[in-house]
Chain A
Amino acid sequence: MENWSLISLCVLLGLTSRWAVSFHSYSGAGKPPIFGDYEAQRHWQEVTYNLPVHEWYFNNTNNDLNYWGLDYPPLTAYHSLVCAYVAKLLNPEWVELHASRGYESHSHKLFMRATVLFTDILIYIPAVLLYCFYFCDGSSKQKVATALCILLYPGLILIDYGHFQYNSVSLGLALWGTLGLGLGWDLFGCLAFTLTLNYKQMELYHSLPFFCYLLGKCIKQGLTGRGFFHLVKISMTVLVTFALCWMPFLSDPKQPLQVLHRLFPVGRGLFEDKVANTWCSLNVLIKIKTLLSRETQLFLSFALTLLFVLPSSLKLLSKPTLWQFKLALVNTSLAFFLFSFQVHEKSILLVAFMLPLLLKDGLLLPYVVTSLAFLFLSLYLLSALERSTEEELRLGLYRKHTQHWLPKLNLMLSLCLLQFWFSLVAMAALSFTSVWLKPPAKLPDLFPVLVSVLSFLHFLGFIIYFNQVQLMEPQRKKSLKKTN
């Protein structure tokens, strides 16, 4: 079968599953007065269309920041503006100032879902396809299989087409950035990444690896010669892109400050809701939220994040290869997620363990179906279990250090397999209990907390493992798939 036919089939399958998930409920459906993320996006269309730019991030009678005020960088606002223009063409009632609050209808849902699909097709899917074809090993069929698995990743589908968000834009742009760097088009990669940074400030998680990789590359080329010019070009690209994105906000010094204030709400506390990071999990044992003052919390989270981010960034700086870059992406984003301030659970689009959130949105069925399908598909197509040989897992290094107290060769492998199955079983069991059982009265948040703690332990394991892989990489290179 031709490559093109296979690729088209994959894309069409991905699109079908996305659209099938969008039949289901969205965040805050039918839940006045606050509703949910869906209403937030609709509200931003209303605000950006009806109000002048300098009022978008400010609190006034026309723009109540307490009701889903804009808290993403300007590019999201511009995107909402474009959507608002289309909405106005189709049905002006959707973006009527004030009057359209809480507007819900079948055609509006269709429109909103269509906007997500449109940006997905435009940005995310081409990036995934290009990535699989240029940066993955194996026969073309295996590349297509990888593309299919990535496209069917439940986390992104459920959040974007179920809960309702535009993560495909930011992740897609970040992926374009990675592609740019991989193909040697550093300026293009920079441009793409700066754009995604201006779309969602969450992408700061990925900024350090980009910075270290490019800086390291420039240093390698010699800071007195070509490297310097390269550095200048990169900096100019970044600055110009920032300037263009923030141009409407640069006229008045108060504007950028207010925008930053909205983007980084340090007033909100160490964490909200149940997040699978250190602070939330630690809070189960020690109530740090109440024990420590706000300043101490900030300092602690900053320090720990830095601590966990430094080794991998330094390694990348000294050895700017693509493989290191990918590992650093994983490590730094995990570190940021686990330790930084005011992390939202959606920042963890790494693992599909957002069950409590999805349950709240009435998305149980899509969650079960897409997770099962994804699991089955990745096991089947990629034979994940078969290929988790010791060498592939880079456990050889572990073995060297632990040889004297773990003599059995296969033990590590079996341990890993055991752990994999255990994780699966735990995930299934927790899903089941969250849905069917009632928690005891004294511990009403039992299941969400269990879910976050379990996920946290997984992520801790991941960050240790990936750091070890990155830091102890031997001289010879052997690329594996990026597991981001």
Chain B
Amino acid sequence: TVMAAPMTNDQSCFFALALGVSFLKCLLINAYHSTDFEVHRNWLALTHSLPVPQWYYEATSEWTLDYPPLFAWFEYGLSHIAWFFDKEMLVVQNLNYASPATILFQRLSVIVADVVFFYAVKECCKCLREDKGKDLLGKPSFILTVLLLWNFGLLIVDHIHFQYNGFLFGVLLLSIARHFQNRHFEGALLFSVLFNLKHIYLYIAPAYGIYLLRCFCFTQSNADGSLQWRSFSVVRLVTLGTIVLSTFAVSFGPFIALGQLPQVLSRLFPFKRGLCHAYWAPNIWALYNIADKAFSILGVKFKLLDINKLPKASMTGGLVQEFQHSVLPSVSPLATLVCTLLSILPALFRIWHRPNGARGFLRCLVICALGSFMFGWHVHEKAILMAILPLRCSSDVFCIITESTYLLGLIPLELICEFVYPLTVWQKTFPFLPLMLTSVYCALGVTYAFIRLYISLLTCSDNTKKIKTQ
């Protein structure tokens, strides 16, 4: 007997996947939530209860508003709906207020906001090349849908830990999809909106800038792919500029008019926080820290260093603060900025010189995201999502992150961290050890992925016309 009819229809399959994952999200409503839950509740409260000039000055709660103004407006809009669920959550003084109605509302808001993500994924699937006659479960669009909609990293961060990344990534993916569809104005608009929702996307702005300048403002390329200076279109550049500037005007305008811009910027870019977050993101600095620690231990052991002169260990203390390294030179924010720029320059240069259309743009975007993850200041491990999700779309480099041996290595790592370690004596003396081990192991993996991705970008051929199958 033949498979039931609806399954061969892509639309209903997508709908089934979307509905299924939404059901799962509903079941997670009562699961653990982190302090980010309180963060967003606080922002709902302050945007609702306080007038606009006070939004970026309010400091009753430790979780001050540190997203750009457009996100504040988003929270303001949500707060009006929240009013019907539980008015008490909108009182700024109600710190850590978490009634069942509050939890329900906040969780539902994330689930509903994910509709943007669903739409964006649908648009991305349209951009994929389809092989006709392939079985449904083998189609690239099906696989991509599953990988994106059921992305467990995103599920855990958004629906357990609590954040709005699905919604934001939806906007990002939609912007990428629009570029693939040659609707560049929309893509640019979406990206400026995205940047005004969460400024962490500054990391990938260079990719956008270079790509749009090279492929859109210069309307034609020479036969060998190099730049044709005379095809520069001022109109396009000006339009793009207008779009971007007007978005910023809508978002930051009120605060510039109030003369609050420095305060807003200081909230958005808090550099006092230290090189690494409390839980080390698996980036270069995690490896740097480990090396520093290893050298200091060896140095003390071989009597090359005086133990009293070394700074006390607080980088591994699980706290968020500035810190000095013992052996290797300390790292300043400027140093990380320089490293990040250096890491992404070759990629930018590459797409300027030999653009590969939207595909090259996508790869460059991922490299920018990964580069800033690898070398950035005070990176959250959640930032890796920014690299992973667009990477999924770039199907022909996906295989990099599925190197089986490396992934299998995660199993013994987890076993050690969860089962062996708690029973050993080290638990008291080195409480940070399992987290550190996990970070370091993942850092190695991420570094490897970064290098391979770079090699792939720099050595790929310029065939935009050649059909690539998976």
Binding site for B on A (CB under 8 A): 1, 6, 16-17, 20-21, 23-24, 137-139, 141-142, 365-366, 369-370, 372-373, 376-377, 380-383, 386-387
Contact = CB atoms under 8 A, between A and B. Distances in A.
Given A1-B137, A23-B28, A23-B31, A369 B3 contact: no
A8 to B, nearest CB: 13
9 contacts: A16-B24, A17-B24, A139-B2, A141-B3, A142-B4, A365-B26, A370-B27, A376-B16, A376-B19
A142 B1 CA distance: 9
Contact of B28 (A20, A370, A372, A383): A20
**Majority DSSP secondary structure for residues of B touching A:** helix
Given A373-B20, A380-B6, A383-B6, A366 B27 contact: yes
Contacts of B6: 380, 383
Give me the 7 closest cross-chain CB pairs, A-B, nearest first. A383-B4, A20-B27, A1-B137, A373-B23, A369-B26, A23-B31, A138-B1
Contact of A369 (B7, B16, B27, B135): B27
A138 B6 CA distance: 16
A376 B6 CA distance: 12
B133 interface: no
Contact of A137 (B1, B5, B12, B138): B1
A380 B29 CA distance: 25
B147 to A, nearest CB: 13
Contacts of B23: 369-370, 372-373
B49 interface: no
B30 interface: yes
Contacts of B135: 1
Interface in B2-22: 2-7, 12, 16, 19-20
A475 B19 CA distance: 44
Interface residues of B, number: 22
Interface string B56-95: 0000000000000000000000000000000000000000
Contact of A386 (B4, B12, B28, B30): B4
- Kindly name the residue among B6, B24, B27 whose own CB sees the greatest number of chain A CB atoms within 10 A: B27
Nearest to B28: A20
A151 to B, nearest CB: 13
Contacts of A17: 24, 27
A16 B20 CA distance: 12
Nearest to B138: A1
A382 B4 contact: yes
B1 A139 contact: yes
Nearest to A372: B23
A373 B19 CA distance: 8
A366 B137 CA distance: 29
Contacts of A23: 27-28, 30-31
A373 B135 CA distance: 25
Given A16-B24, A380-B12, A380-B16, A24 B4 contact: no
Given A373-B20, A376-B19, A380-B12, A21 B27 contact: yes
Contacts of A369: 23, 26-27
Contact of A20 (B12, B16, B24, B137): B24
Nearest to A25: B30
Nearest to A374: B23
A370 B20 CA distance: 10
Contacts of B138: 1
Given A1-B137, A23-B31, A380-B16, A139 B3 contact: yes
